Amino acid sequence: MKKKELDMENPFIYGMATFGKWFTDREDDANRLSSNFLYGINTILISPRRWGKTSLVLKVAKRISNKNLKIVNFDIFSCRSAEDFYRLFAKEIIRQTSNKWDEWSENVRRFLSALSPTISFGNDPINDFSVSFNVSDKSLINEEVLNLPFKIARKKRIRIVVCIDEFQQIMEFPDHKNFQKQLRSAWQLQAQNVSYCLYGSKKHLMYALFSKQSMPFYKFGDVFFLQKISVEHWIPYIQQRFEETGKFISAELANKICETVENHSSYVQQLSWLVWTRTEKITTENDFNDAKTDLLNQNSILFQNYMEGLTALQLNFLQAIANGIYDRFSRNEIIAKYKLGTSANISRVKKSLEKKEIIDIEPKMVTFNDPVFRIWFKKSISMI
């Protein structure tokens, strides 16, 4: 990369939440989420990983937050138990509803006094602290912590929206169904002051949490599945980012980027970046092909990890999908061609691969979760 390019602003961002000029389209989604936040509607937001859920939530939070509406956002992926959840929940509610860091200790003691709390500061006291509770009564911890945003909202005469990323993680907690009942029991009584946005990337778990009548969170709020950004929005975005840095890419090649990665948000940004770095002034077909090869190479170790531990039957099933078979796997000719065994085998394989987040199961279609893995897999299988 030339020195002149090193001085430029990065035209594409991937692997992290996007914002500002790097955030494209999703206006309808942003308007819907904004309305839910403003009017206190609980929201369940579901999509595969790296489709832009976090970016959307952050965009809406920045757009509508004000002195009367606080939006708290945190990720519970690292939580392994209800106790982990309570500590993180309390910390983030306190931290993100206080204007000054020196209020943290005061607010912990004011709102959680019944739990004899201890607050500990890390290496960066302005941003890093933790809360622990010195009581053994779990029911008291549950009641005090889960009602914390409600107490703060009433005391400060504000409304709070609590946004929790990777919410499906609670399905991994011990006695998770009872924990769900406790959450729902507390949160459903806070509607006038507090609402919740619960979002996650493991679609089958999120669906189980919110769409099954037997589960405590059934009909908890507005459920919507985030869709991919359409190619009609991606093409002008890609061309504009090239143009702003003194380069040109045709609509045809911009479209080819989108088609290659099936409009997957993070991959569109990544492949566009790889094409951009190879472009002198005008993008060529060779620039695109080299960038696509680089994209596959950059992800090859990750994809090899996907393959580890897969059975022959699972690999056969993936090969069928890679070759364009998306449904009706129990047909005799498909079972024979791909050595899938029996219909019962197919059902077990689908569930196993879905749990591993390798495939996505729609009512009438089964596809790869990762479009670049599909390309890599098909190429790898053809070489065996």
Neighbours of 165 (CB within 10 A): 20
Question: Token pair of 273, please?
Answer: 């970046």
Residue that has been written with the tokens 């507090």 in this structure: 194
Two tokens, residue 135: 């009581």
302-319: average pLDDT: 93
The closest alpha carbon to 164, from 68, 42, 265, 22, belongs to: 42
Q: Count of CB atoms within 10 A of residue 156's CB?
A: 16
| Contact assessment for residue 186 and residue 179, using Cβ atoms and an 8 Å cutoff | no
The tokens describing 352, both together, are 């196993």
Q: Which regions of the chain carry the CATH code 3.40.50.300?
A: 26-225
pLDDT band at 6 (very low <50, low <70, confident <90, very high): very low
**What are the E-state strand segments in 175-276?**
194-200, 222-225
Q: What is the pLDDT of residues 12-61, one digit of tens each?
A: 877 655 555 545 557 888 899 999 999 999 999 988 777 778 888 988 99
Could you tell me where in the chain the CATH 1.10.10.10 domains are found?
308-382
Confidence of residue 84 (pLDDT cuts 50, 70, 90): very high
Q: 166: exposed, middle or buried (C-beta count within 10 Å: 0-12, 13-18, 19+)? A: buried
Is the pLDDT score of 380 beyond 50?
Answer: yes
Q: Is pLDDT of 202 > 90?
A: no
pLDDT at 136: 83
Crossing angle (nearest 10°) for helices 148-156 and 138-146: 40
- Where is average pLDDT lowest: 19-28, 36-45, 294-303, 334-343? 19-28
User: Angle, nearest 10°, between helix axes 148-156 and 82-96?
Assistant: 10
pLDDT tens sequence across 162-174: 999 999 999 999 9
Beta carbons within 8 Å of 163's beta carbon, 6+ residues apart: 57, 61, 71, 72, 73, 74, 196, 197, 198, 199
Res 373 pLDDT > 90: yes
CATH number for domain 26-225, candidates 3.40.50.11540, 3.40.50.300, 3.40.50.11740, 3.40.1030.10: 3.40.50.300
Least confident of 290-294, 316-320, 326-330: 326-330
Residue type, position 260, single letter: T
What span, in angstroms and rounded, lies between the C-alpha atoms of 354 and 360? 6
Whole-model pTM: value is 0.82
* Tens digit of each residue's pLDDT (9 = 90 or more) over 210-226: 989 999 999 999 998 88
* Alpha-carbon separation of residue 13 from 3, 27, 61, 263, 361 (angstroms): 20, 19, 20, 15, 29
Please state, for a pLDDT cut of 90, what percent of the chain lies above it.
66
Q: Element (H or E) spanning 362, and its range?
A: strand 359-362
Residue 280 has pLDDT above 90, yes or no: yes
Third-level CATH fold of 308-382: Arc Repressor Mutant, subunit A (1.10.10)
DSSP string, 115-138: G-EEEEE-SSTTT-EEEEE----H
Mean of the per-residue pLDDT values for the chain? 89
Closest alpha carbon to 238 in 251, 224, 221, 222? 251
Q: Residue 277's Cα: distance from chain center in Å?
A: 27
CB 186 within 8 A of CB 147: yes
Q: Which CATH class is domain 3-16+229-298?
A: mainly alpha
What is the reported pLDDT for 14? 76
CA nearest neighbour of 31 among 60, 54, 62, 6? 60
Q: Which residue has the higher pLDDT, 247 or 131?
A: 247
Sheet strands side by side (includes 69-75): 69-75, 159-165, 194-200, 43-46, 222-225
- pLDDT at 317 (0 to 100): 95
Q: Where in the chain is the domain with CATH 1.10.8?
A: 3-16+229-298
pLDDT value of residue 191:
83
Predicted local distance difference test score (pLDDT) of residue 126: 63
